Structure 1
Amino acid sequence: MINSGRYTAKLDSGWKFQHDPQNQGEREGWHNAGLPAPVTVSVPHTWNVQEALEEFRGAGWYEQQLEAPEEWAGRRFRLFFEGAYRDTDIWVNGTLAGTHYNSGYTPFETDITPYILAGGNNRLVIRVDNRNSDTALPVSNSFDWADDGGLIRPVTLVVTGSTAVEQLRVEPKVSFSADDKPAGGTVAAQIKLCEPPAAAVQAEIKVYRNEVIVWQGTEEIAAGALAWSFAEIGLDEVELWHFDHPHLYELEIVLTAGDGIQDRLVRSFGFREIVVEGHQLLLNREPVRLMGVEWMPGSHPEAGMAEGAEELTAMLVRLKEANCIITRFHWQQGNELLDWCDRNGLLVQEEIPHWQQPAEPGKDTRLLALSQAKEMIASHSHHPCIFAWGMGNELDGQSTVTNGYMKELKEEFLQLDSTRLVNYVSNTLQLQPASDATGAGDMLMWNDYIGTWHGDLDEEEVIRQIIADHPDKPLVVAEYGLCEPAFEGGDARRTRILREKTAIYRRYPAFAALIYFSLNDYRTQMGEEGTGRFMQRVHGSVDLYNQAKPSYAALREESSPIVLAGEPVWKDGGLELTLECRNDIPSYAVRGYSLKAAVPDGEVISQLLPDLAPGEVRTVHVELPEGAGSASGANDGAARTAALSILRPTGFSVLELQL
């Protein structure tokens, strides 16, 4: 640890837990003496999936023993929480070391250096309370997801030298030539230290691509400096991050003082540009029209909001296998989930949990929203997957108060991060489009439930009015689908809504993206179906256990950027496929895709497909070995079979054909 500068350990095992329905823990000194009757749990953890505690809203206590070796004397100790729902108090050896209130999904850390005793065990006690609160976001019980309490995301012990990085903000920028080709890039960074160093500190800086150093240098941090930034690093060539080509870089900062390495931090990032221009959404200067789906995490009945890597990854893979490459989250997520999106190519709008807030938000609400935005952006702004920040969802968008609030909040978001889009998602745009608060955002984001929640309006008349009132912004359908049991029709109706509405949206170039709602049935404290940990809304194309319904196949088909233009033909000792790159929604260039053919004898043939521009049609000949796919082994037009897969460069399947 001393040589590397930073030691981190996930505190996932060895926890004791006890719920506190009578609020007796602090009165009886549990923070000092330990928990009197605990059970053993692992973290992440929520009590709201445990038998007898499924409906419990109140305080839950956690206890952990931290061993600090003698050689750690003089080091800095911090606890990093990816998220705890919700109001959190932290004691170390009986002394209150930190608190975090009114925000259950943003990351935070607590410096516990003054309270740690090196050379022995230390008692860590944490109390988390998930009772409804009128001073928190989300407010009271007005939100449509589970309010699971506990240490719902990883807790990490971080040990460094006394001079250590508290925050690291990476700012990559890509340059383009006159013909919109990438022409290099720059990297800058802003660093906040835990405390000003007493003497000058050397900062060694390295930029990596595929574990190869592409730039390195050294700068000095002056004594007494709390914040520090280095000048832009110029790179002549950069590989751009794209949902099909998620190229990543790493920035390494090593701080060295007189007694050796103090801290070492590595942060991944990507070069990409996402801007709006009129009705268009441009990714790296390419106009794109995207298909996506929203996913509501925390819905597995065995894990709840404490879903681990296995459950989260399974849902993310399911999302990508649906050919969806854009999503949004109503509330802040953890860095591990966002790391997956970075590596695998998923565009994300991450939002503060502003949902059905009263029509006249006061100063306290604005300050709380801004506080959550600061924590979210400080921890997550390095993720290239995040293309936009969300200011809220369904906040009475026709209100003049909401309009003013969203305009003000957007300016404050841009002060925190001017490199991303900022949006508000409305469910009232269909009423008076010109005066709706979603117009304050960079894109119009509309939850469209015409035909169910919004009544039987004329869909196309509404769309034409929206476009006429907002001729200069892209339109994104942020939700559309069917919610049971509020509305009848089951999965067949869900499929019909998906296909019919998607067909309508495709006719209007103003639509830049569609985000279907939702991928999964989801656990929610306001669910109309089920009880306890199974209380849910039936809104998805997979169930709580990630089992696909028939509408999932329809979503995958509608979201594919490639379609077959005609029937495959066995010809000239192989197979001929005519492929078309969609030119409506989705619409983007297809580059680096491949085709795999598996024939009955077990052989798999793989070949690269030609690049396709939107609207382009190409015939591809799949070369097969002589006799492959034919039961007789002959190559004379007899019945032949093959299983075909078209794959993205990231390995996710686009189309599966059995011939």
Structure 2
Amino acid sequence: MLTLWNHGWTASSRWTFAGKSPDGAEVRLPHDPVISLERDPDGSPSTGYFPGGSWQYEKTFEVPEEWRDKRVTVFFEGVYRSASVFINGDFVANRPYGYSEFTAELDPYLNYGDENTIRVEARSHDDSRWYSGAGIYRHVWLHVADLVDISLDGVSVATSEFEADTVIATVETEVRNATHSLQTPRVSHEIISPDGQVAATGSAPISLRPGETGTCRQRILIAGPRRWDLDAPNLYECRTRLYLETGEETDPDATVCFGIRTLALDPTHGLRLNGNTVNLRGACVHHDNGPLGAVTIDRADEGRVELLKQAGVIAIRSAHQRMGR
């Protein structure tokens, strides 16, 4: 079970926080505490004259007794920067870089059947050539999984062997076995076409020793593939399920989207998409959302892409770090 975990947090200053959210005030993630600070005319122009500082976020949550036989993980899409994660005062995880995703495994530190408190510390200083913002500026997710489960982001799809009326989708699924016994679950896939119909299916077992993580690879034939193109961005879905030997489903539906297209690059034709030469018209885009700050707001990101596309842009370079999901 993967749950968006953006509500119920409080934000406070460890040193200099003086923005719109006072110390200990409830905030909804994503949150950028820097954008509401007063600018300093003696500050650095590289960061828009905004000051730095240190902040901490806290959230108290119930952990039911039945989670004792689960794996409990918090997934952070981005915390700027030098993030440290604590559970009930115990150190759990650290991520120095402010633009990469990371996870914190909570199981050893939880009090089952009781309230627990997670604390995330972050800091920002004169350390950028652009406005970086700060804090938990991207989404946070809570992942509660069975001891035999599909890893987070554990499903990937690649297409190959293109024919006039068929294509091969190679699906790789990373499966974890945290039990103390040999497990042989079955990994099943449904490929859903752009019009919502089942285009293909596949299923295969995977044997895992205690504590082992393995990859199940399946090649699935898709008939009558609809290509992804600039003016026809057709997307397929791969819906993956995991079943124990008893037939019990141990993981909720894991779904990834993918497009079917060919890419080729050579000195004669340049870049070709589905066999047609494409002249790239690109833009260099930073991660922030202007007056909204560094927060990743899904609709704001979508709107920016729509405006760029209206302007004729067909390629984006993220500057100077990975973009949000």
TM-score by length of 2: 0.84
Quote the residue 2:191 is aligned against: 207
Matched residues in 2 for 1:203 and 1:227: separation?
Answer: 12
Q: After superposition, where does 1:153-232 map in structure 2 within 5 Å?
A: 153-166=138-151, 167-177=153-163, 182-195=164-177, 197=179, 198=181, 199-209=183-193, 210-224=195-209, 225-232=212-219
Matched residues in 2 for 1:88 and 1:195: separation?
Answer: 29
Matched residues in 1 for 2:221 and 2:300: separation?
Answer: 40
1:90, CA displacement in angstroms?
0.9
CA deviation profile, 1:58-105 (whole Å, cap 9, x unmatched): 32100012223344331211111111111111111222121112x211
Alpha carbons 1:60, 1:150 under 8 Å: kept: yes
Quick check: which one's strand share is greater? 2
Quote the residue 2:264 is aligned against: 275
Measured at CA, do residues 194 and 130 of structure 1 come closer, stay the same or move farther in structure 2, by a change above 3 Å? farther
Quote the residue 1:309 is aligned against: 298
- Amino acid paired to 1:275: A
Q: Does 1:80 align with 2:66?
A: no
Measured at CA, do residues 194 and 83 of structure 1 come closer, stay the same or move farther in structure 2, by a change above 3 Å? farther
- Amino acid paired to 1:68: V
Matched residues in 2 for 1:260 and 1:96: separation?
Answer: 35
RMSD over aligned CA atoms reads 2.5
Alpha carbons 1:292, 1:324 under 8 Å: kept: yes
Quote the residue 2:101 is aligned against: 107
Matched residues in 2 for 1:9 and 1:169: separation?
Answer: 18
Matched residues in 2 for 1:314 and 1:269: separation?
Answer: 21
Residue-pair matches, total:
302
Q: After superposition, where does 1:250-649 map in structure 2 within 5 Å?
A: 250-257=237-244, 258=246, 260-264=248-252, 265-279=254-268, 280-301=270-291, 303-330=292-319, 331-335=321-325
Matched residues in 1 for 2:222 and 2:302: separation?
Answer: 33
Quote the residue 1:47 is aligned against: 33
1:332, CA displacement in angstroms?
0.6
Matched residues in 1 for 2:3 and 2:218: separation?
Answer: 32
Matched residues in 1 for 2:296 and 2:88: separation?
Answer: 30
Matched residue SS, 1:316: helix
Measured at CA, do residues 120 and 14 of structure 1 come closer, stay the same or move farther in structure 2, by a change above 3 Å? same
Quote the residue 1:402 is aligned against: none
1:165, CA displacement in angstroms?
2.1
Quote the residue 1:127 is aligned against: 121
Matched residues in 1 for 2:177 and 2:103: separation?
Answer: 14
Quote the residue 1:236 is aligned against: 223
Aligned equivalent of 2:132, options 135, 143, 147: 147
CA deviation profile, 1:93-126 (whole Å, cap 9, x unmatched): 222121112x211222222122233333211111
TM-score by length of 1: 0.43
Matched residues in 2 for 1:235 and 1:259: separation?
Answer: 26
CA deviation profile, 1:522-549 (whole Å, cap 9, x unmatched): xxxxxxxxxxxxxxxxxxxxxxxxxxxx
- Amino acid paired to 2:279: R
Matched residues in 2 for 1:11 and 1:196: separation?
Answer: 24
Matched residues in 2 for 1:15 and 1:56: separation?
Answer: 23
Quote the residue 2:7 is aligned against: 13
1:271, CA displacement in angstroms?
1.1
Alpha carbons 1:86, 1:150 under 8 Å: kept: yes
1:250, CA displacement in angstroms?
1.3
Alpha carbons 1:290, 1:326 under 8 Å: kept: yes
Matched residue SS, 1:240: coil
Identity among equivalent positions (%) equals: 22
Matched residue SS, 1:128: strand
Alpha carbons 1:174, 1:272 under 8 Å: kept: no
1:277, CA displacement in angstroms?
1.2
Alpha carbons 1:172, 1:270 under 8 Å: kept: no
The answer for unaligned runs of 5 or more in structure 2 is 40-48
Alpha carbons 1:46, 1:305 under 8 Å: kept: yes
Alpha carbons 1:183, 1:237 under 8 Å: kept: yes
Matched residues in 1 for 2:196 and 2:271: separation?
Answer: 32
Matched residues in 2 for 1:189 and 1:107: separation?
Answer: 23
1:156, CA displacement in angstroms?
0.7
Quote the residue 2:88 is aligned against: 93
